[in-house]
Amino acid sequence: MAIRVNVLDLQLKGKSVLVSGGSRGIGRAIVECFLAEGARVSFCARQAAGVHEAQQALGDSAWGDVVDVADPAQIERWVHASAERMGGVDIVVPNVSALAGGGDLAVWHKAFEIDVLGSVSLVNAALPWLKRSAAASVVLISSVSGREIDRFAEPYGVMKAALTHYGKTLSARHAREQIRVNTVAPGNVYFADGVWGSIERDDPEGFARSLAANPMGRMATPEEVARATVFLASPAASFITGTTLLVDGGLTQGVQF
């Protein structure tokens, strides 16, 4: 007797998606994963060269724009133009970080403006369109650094902890409007032009120690984080809201209740 296997359909074909920080790394992988599921994606990044390269590589269902997420007016214009182009907005993935470290107040201000306010501005600008969507979803990108004290504790970890709280707050506020809000907290994610690639080149001993701390013996790939993000964003996760999904290979040891 043949065994019937039900293939999981993420139900993303034709959905309209916004992704900030989408030209490289985790953001680029998120864009590619949405496109592979048949969604249309408008992405932004700060560097024109990166946006142009990504736009050329990603094809006709993706549109890239140069946006400084620290400027709410630029975000507002980008969201409006994207919604007009795609006929609405169903899914929003704020994925930006200053990757700031140090105690100087200017560094803290920069981290707050980009990591926190950049995400808040994007969500606020997209809310009018999300309220009209039958599949509205927001997925914030936090970090294990928002859960545990590590080499990225301040201000990066503090801002990522704030995003996790923000996501839970949004989920409670908008549940009755059928807008789901979740958070993904990646562990160490390696790609050559990312922070861990830089650490590997500049501090090989520190990199080796961090690599050894990963119970699975390696760091995550951007694609592994992207797949978790896209699942949470999709209608296949229709009864999941207010959760934080760790994608850390067992790096963190705290029990989640």
Give catalytic residues, as residue numbers.
142-143, 156, 160
What CA–CA distance (Å, rounded) separates 11 from 249?
27
Measured from the Cβ of residue 235, the count of other Cβ atoms closer than 10 Å reads: 16
Question: What is the amino acid identity at position 85?
Answer: R
Secondary structure letter of residue 215 according to DSSP: T
- Match 């807008």 to its residue by tokens: 179
Edge-to-edge strand ranges of the sheet holding 62-66: 62-66, 40-45, 16-20, 91-93, 137-141, 180-186, 244-247
8 A C-beta contact, residue 15 and residue 91: yes
CA distances from 194 to 6, 119, 190 (A): 37, 20, 7
Cis previous bond, 155, omega within 30: yes
- Convert 121-150 to b/e letters by CB count within 10 Å (16 or more is b): bbbebbbebbeebebbbbbbbbbbbbbbeb
User: Strands, DSSP E only, in 77-153?
Assistant: 91-93, 137-141
What CA–CA distance (Å, rounded) separates 51 from 199?
25
8 A C-beta contact, residue 100 and residue 107: yes
